[in-house]
C-alpha cells in the first residue's frame, strides 16, 4: 500500500508532462499491453486482419469471460481482466481496435505495411486517415507533422464563457505520441528514489517495483480502453475555462465552466455516459447530462464539449440553459474590450497555459490578492528543447500592497533555497529536497512600483520537483500570514484565529 501511495503522489506531474506531449486518447493506450491482453501475436499480417475483422468477442462471450468462476481469487489481476473484457463489448471497441492496429503497424516499421496504410489515407472514418499517415511516417523514419492547434479559434472560444467571469484561462494541448510506458516507469522509479537513495541495489525492492510497474501499466491501459470503447477516440485541442466573479462554494454562490474543443463522437459520448451520470436533458436542443451534485456535461457538437459546475444545486438547470444558449449563439460576455480579454492577449506559439484574474473586491478577500488589480500567468514550451517556462505578473493600484506581496514571495523562495529543516518532509526524500533547493534558486522575482513579476524555467525531467516547489509556494502564499511559517510558533493564546 505504501508503494502504491508513493506512486500516486508522483503521478500528477507526470500526467502534466503527458498532456504536453499528446492530445489524442488512443495514443495513450499502450499497444503491447493491449495485444498481449487480447492474446494476439503482433505481426503485419495479424494487424491487417485486426483492421479488417477484429474477432472481438460477442457480448455474451465477453460477459462470460469478464466474470471469473466462483471461488477465483479477487486479485488486482482478476479486476483488470474483468474491466478489459467488459470494455471489449462496448459500442466503440471495434473502431478503437482498428486504430490500435494501424498504430501498431507503424511501430513495427515494416515497409510491406505501407500499401495497406496508404489505402486508408482517404478514409472518412474518424481518425483513421490521420492515424495511417502517422504510421507511414513512422515506418519511413520521417517526422509526422500533425495539424497545429488553431490559436485564433482559441481566442474566439473566450466568447463561449458566461459574461460575469472573474477568472478566465486556456490550456492548449500539444499533438504528439507519448511513450506512456516509459513515463509510468519513470514515475515509479523517481518516487521510489525519493525515499530510498540506494533502492536499485536492493533486489527485493527491485522485484516488487517491476511487479508494480507491470500492474500499473495494465491498469492504466485497460481503463483508457474502457473509456475509448465507450465514447470512441477523442482529441482535445484546447480547454477554455472560467470562474464567476463571486465564486464561493461555502455560500453556494458562483459557477465554473470549461469548454473543450477538439474532435470526438458526441452522440456516442452522450450515450455512453448517460447510464453513469444523472438525468439527461436537451437545453437549446443540446444533449446534456446533469448530476445530483451540481455538475453538468453538454455535448453541443463533435467539436465541442462543455463541463459546468455550480455549488447551488437548485439553480443548475437554469444555469445550464444559459450556458447552452451562449454556446449555441457563440456570443458570451467576454467581448474583445473586456479586462480579461485584454489580459489574455493572442496566445503565442508554444503557449500551454494562460490564465488571467480580474481582481474585484470579492477576490481581494484572499490575503495574497489584497491591493491587487490583476494577475496573469503563462506557461509555455521554451525554444530550448525539453524546457518549460512559467511567468506570473501582478499589478495593483497600491504600490505598497504589491511590495508587500513581493516581500512575502521573496521570503518564501529564500527559505526554499536553503537546506530543508529536519522536520521538513523532503528530508526523507533525498532525491527531491536538493532539486527543490536548486530550482528555487533559479526563480526570479522583480518589483517595480505597482507591478511584480515572477519567472521560472525547468526541464520536463524535473516535473516531480517543480510540482512540489510550486505547491509549497502557493500553499504558503495563500495562508493568512505567510511570514509566520518561518518564525517561531506563537503560544496557543497568542496565535491568530484560523481563517474560516
Domain segments of the chain: what residues? 2-147+184-231, 152-175+234-329, 359-494
Q: State the pLDDT at residue 39.
A: 92
Per-residue model confidence (pLDDT) at position 263: 94
HSE-up (13 A, CA, CB side) for residue 285: 3
pLDDT at residue 292, rounded to an integer: 77
Domain pair 152-175+234-329 / 359-494, same fold: no
* Per-residue model confidence (pLDDT) at position 10: 39
Compute the CA torsion angle 364, 365, 366, 371 (nearest 10 deg). 30
pLDDT of residue 47: 95
Class (C level, CATH) for 359-494: alpha beta
- Below-70 pLDDT ranges, the chain: 1-21, 54-55, 57-74, 187-202, 275-279, 283-284, 333, 335-337, 383-385, 420-432, 461, 464, 479-500
| Ramachandran class of 306: left when φ > 0, alpha when ψ lies in -120 to 50, beta otherwise | beta
For domain 152-175+234-329, the question of CATH label 3.90.920 is answered with no
pLDDT at 101: 96
The reported pLDDT for the residue numbered 198 is 60
Q: What is the pLDDT of residues 253-263, one digit of tens each?
A: 899 999 999 99
For 369-382, write each residue's pLDDT tens digit. 888 999 999 888 87
C-alpha grid cell, residue 471: 505547491
Residue 110: how many other CB atoms lie within 10 Å: 13
Query: What per-residue confidence (pLDDT) applies to 383?
Result: 63
- C-alpha–C-alpha distance, residues 114 and 7, integer Å: 40
What's the confidence (pLDDT) of residue 102? 96
Q: What is the pLDDT of residue 313?
A: 80
Amino acid at each position: 500500500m505504501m508503494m502504491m501511495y508513493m506512486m500516486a503522489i508522483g503521478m500528477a506531474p507526470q500526467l502534466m508532462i503527458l498532456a504536453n506531449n499528446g492530445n489524442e486518447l488512443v495514443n495513450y493506450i499502450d499497444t503491447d499491453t493491449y495485444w498481449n491482453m487480447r492474446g494476439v501475436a503482433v505481426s503485419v499480417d495479424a494487424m491487417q486482419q485486426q483492421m479488417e475483422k477484429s474477432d472481438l468477442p460477442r457480448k455474451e462471450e465477453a460477459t462470460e469471460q469478464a466474470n471469473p468462476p466462483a471461488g477465483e481469487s479477487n486479485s488486482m489481476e482478476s479486476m483488470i481482466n474483468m474491466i478489459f473484457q467488459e470494455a471489449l463489448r462496448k459500442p466503440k471497441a471495434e473502431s478503437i481496435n482498428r486504430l490500435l492496429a494501424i498504430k501498431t503497424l507503424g511501430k513495427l516499421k515494416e515497409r510491406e505495411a505501407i500499401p495497406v496504410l496508404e489505402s486508408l489515407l482517404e478514409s472518412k472514418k474518424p481518425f483513421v486517415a490521420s492515424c495511417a499517415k502517422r504510421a507511414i511516417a513512422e515506418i519511413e523514419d520521417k517526422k509526422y507533422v500533425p495539424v497545429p492547434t488553431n490559436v485564433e479559434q482559441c481566442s474566439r472560444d473566450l466568447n463561449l464563457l458566461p459574461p460575469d467571469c472573474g477568472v478566465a484561462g486556456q490550456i492548449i494541448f500539444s499533438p504528439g505520441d507519448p511513450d506512456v510506458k516509459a513515463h509510468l516507469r519513470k514515475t515509479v522509479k523517481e518516487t521510489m528514489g525519493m525515499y530510498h537513495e540506494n533502492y536499485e541495489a536492493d533486489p527485493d525492492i527491485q522485484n516488487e517495483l517491476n511487479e508494480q510497474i507491470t500492474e500499473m501499466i495494465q491498469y492504466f491501459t485497460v481503463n483508457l480502453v474502457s473509456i475509448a470503447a465507450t465514447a470512441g477516440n477523442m482529441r482535445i485541442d484546447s480547454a477554455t475555462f472560467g470562474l464567476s466573479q463571486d465564486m464561493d462554494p461555502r455560500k453556494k454562490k458562483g459557477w465554473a465552466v470549461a469548454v473543450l474543443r477538439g474532435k470526438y463522437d458526441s452522440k456516442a459520448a452522450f450515450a455512453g455516459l448517460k447510464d453513469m451520470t444523472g438525468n439527461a436533458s436537451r437545453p437549446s436542443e443540446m444533449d446534456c447530462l446533469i448530476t445530483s451534485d451540481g455538475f453538468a456535461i453538454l455535448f453541443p457538437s463533435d467539436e465541442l464539449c462543455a463541463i459546468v459546475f455550480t455549488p447551488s444545486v437548485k439553480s443548475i438547470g437554469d444555469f445550464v440553459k444559459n450556458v447552452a444558449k451562449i454556446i449555441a449563439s457563440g456570443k458570451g460576455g467576454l467581448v474583445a474590450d473586456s479586462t480579461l480579454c485584454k489580459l489574455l492577449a493572442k496566445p503565442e506559439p508554444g503557449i500551454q497555459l494562460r490564465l488571467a484574474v480580474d481582481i474585484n473586491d470579492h477576490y481581494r478577500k484572499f490575503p495574497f490578492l489584497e491591493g491587487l488589480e490583476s494577475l496573469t500567468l503563462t506557461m509555455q514550451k521554451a525554444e530550448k528543447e525539453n524546457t518549460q517556462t512559467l511567468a506570473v505578473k501582478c499589478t495593483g493600484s497600491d504600490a505598497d500592497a504589491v511590495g508587500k506581496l513581493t516581500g512575502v514571495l521573496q521570503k518564501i523562495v529564500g527559505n526554499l533555497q536553503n537546506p530543508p529543516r529536519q522536520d521538513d518532509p523532503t528530508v526523507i526524500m533525498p532525491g527531491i529536497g536538493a532539486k527543490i533547493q536548486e530550482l528555487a534558486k533559479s526563480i526570479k522575482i522583480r518589483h517595480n512600483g505597482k507591478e511584480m513579476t515572477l519567472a521560472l524555467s525547468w526541464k520536463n525531467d524535473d516535473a516531480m520537483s517543480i510540482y512540489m516547489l510550486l505547491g509549497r509556494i502557493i500553499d504558503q502564499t495563500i495562508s493568512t500570514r505567510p511570514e509566520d511559517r518561518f518564525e517561531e510558533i506563537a503560544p496557543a493564546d497568542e496565535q491568530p484565529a484560523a481563517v474560516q
